[in-house]
Amino acid sequence: MSAAATIAHEVPPQTGPRAFLHRLRQGDQIAHLITLTFAAVILLLTSMLVYELWINSHLSRTQFGWAFFWTKVWDPNFDNFGAAPFIYGTLVTSAVALVLAVPLGLASAIFLSELAPRKISDIISFLIDLLAAVPSVIYGLLGIFIVVPLMRTTLGPLLINTLGNVPSLGVLFRGPNYGVGFLTAGIVLAIMVVPFIISVSREVLLTVPREQREAALALGATRWESTWQVVVPWARAGIMGSVFLALARALGETMAVTMVIGNAAAIKASLLSPGDTIASTIANQFTEATGDLYLSSLIELGLVLFLITFILNGLARILIVATERGGGRPA
């Protein structure tokens, strides 16, 4: 291996074993410090961000206090602001997006890494990466032109007539059906985040050592069993990482969601009813907001979203630890 050959030639001159070790450690120490500094920069940036959000939302925080979380009204004219409908909308649309994107993305990643010929897999993966670059405005336009009519004329009525009649689950699929709403936004979001899941998961699955698969197959497992019970668990950390990426994007997505969600600040059980999310509200109203309390409330919404992300990330990590069954790659 060429890299090893390079190293072998570059052993530093032996002026004395202790001096050599000292220099070695110095080099490593410097590298450690440099990378540590850059890692700390992220902490610094995020702290500054939270600080800015905190300071600029001072007015509304003092005005509304904790009630901001459960007030259902958002009234710029009478200066009464509450985040409840947007928190609901954010959680619902992200949940729908992940429920759709994770199975689809993971299945596609498995197909691309295990079954497809390498060349085709590379090309398709390359093209899927491109999807990540499509501006959200265009996703929004496509949502309006394609998904919304589809939902209103075909998919919506279908869901209402079939799943809508199932007891308890059915409450998620009730009319009236306008085409815009939580489900439509969730679908558009799913399309937007699936490239992240596929791209990263596929790469991670490709790094699973061949020996693992072969060992399973040698023991008589079918292709699927070897994939699902050996390869995927090995890559679990990376796959979860891709889901985190997807979740984060879904939570913070603005343009595309705002064009297809119907923008009604309301909390309704049916996925087919219109609603709104935090990110979409901020994006829609920030540029036009003129009152100080109004602005402060919008920024407080940003802070609330930050808190939601914090909690969801924590829950997800707890979930990972709780389902650690072993069979994963050693850390």
* Rounded least distance, CB 88 to another protein, Å: 16
- One-letter amino acid at 38 equals F
Q: Which is nearer to another protein, 63 or 309 (CB)?
A: 309
Q: Token pair of 27, please?
A: 């080099």
Q: Which of 245, 241, 242, 239 is nearest to 205 (CA)?
A: 239
* Rounded least distance, CB 168 to another protein, Å: 27
* 283 binding another protein? (CB under 8 A): yes
* 152 binding another protein? (CB under 8 A): yes
Q: Which is nearer to another protein, 23 or 166 (CB)?
A: 23
* 293 binding another protein? (CB under 8 A): no
Q: Which is nearer to another protein, 166 or 291 (CB)?
A: 291
Q: Which is nearer to another protein, 164 or 179 (CB)?
A: 179
271 neighbors 181 (Cβ within 8 angstroms): yes
The span from the CA of 321 to the CA of 302, in Å, is 29
* 141 binding another protein? (CB under 8 A): yes
* 322 binding another protein? (CB under 8 A): no
For residue 164, CA distances in Å to 169, 173, 177 come to: 7, 5, 12
The span from the CA of 104 to the CA of 110, in Å, is 10
* 327 binding another protein? (CB under 8 A): no
Q: Which is nearer to another protein, 26 or 161 (CB)?
A: 26
* 115 binding another protein? (CB under 8 A): yes
Q: What long-range pairs does 127-130 form, CB within 8 A, spacing at least 24?
A: 128/194, 128/195, 128/198, 128/199, 129/195, 129/199
* 54 binding another protein? (CB under 8 A): no
Tell me which residues in 170-189 interact with another protein (CB under 8 A): 176, 178-180
Residue choice 108, 184, 296, 297 for contact with another protein (CB under 8 A): 108
* 324 binding another protein? (CB under 8 A): no
* 112 binding another protein? (CB under 8 A): yes
Residue choice 4, 15, 16, 326 for contact with another protein (CB under 8 A): 4
Per-residue mark of binding to another protein, 120-139 (x: CB under 8 A): ----x-xxxxxxxxxxxxx-
Tell me which residues in 231-250 interact with another protein (CB under 8 A): 237-238, 241, 244-245, 247-249
With the CA atoms of 256, 261, 267 and 270 taken in that order, what torsion angle do they form, in degrees rounded to the nearest 10?
-120
Q: Which is nearer to another protein, 173 or 199 (CB)?
A: 199
Cis peptide before 176 (omega within 30 of 0): yes
3-class secondary-structure state, position 171 = helix
Half-sphere exposure of 223 (CA within 13 A, CB side): 5
By CB under 8 A, the count of residues binding another protein is 133
In degrees, rounded to 5, the angle at the alpha carbon of residue 147 between the alpha carbons of residues 142 and 151 is 160
The span from the CA of 80 to the CA of 66, in Å, is 14
For residue 185, CA distances in Å to 88, 93, 151, 249 come to: 13, 6, 11, 13
Residue choice 68, 196, 271, 296 for contact with another protein (CB under 8 A): 196
* 302 binding another protein? (CB under 8 A): yes
* 52 binding another protein? (CB under 8 A): yes
Q: Which is nearer to another protein, 125 or 159 (CB)?
A: 125
Beta bridge mates, 80: 75
Segment lying near another protein (by CB under 8 A), choices 61-69, 73-81, 161-169, 319-327 = 73-81
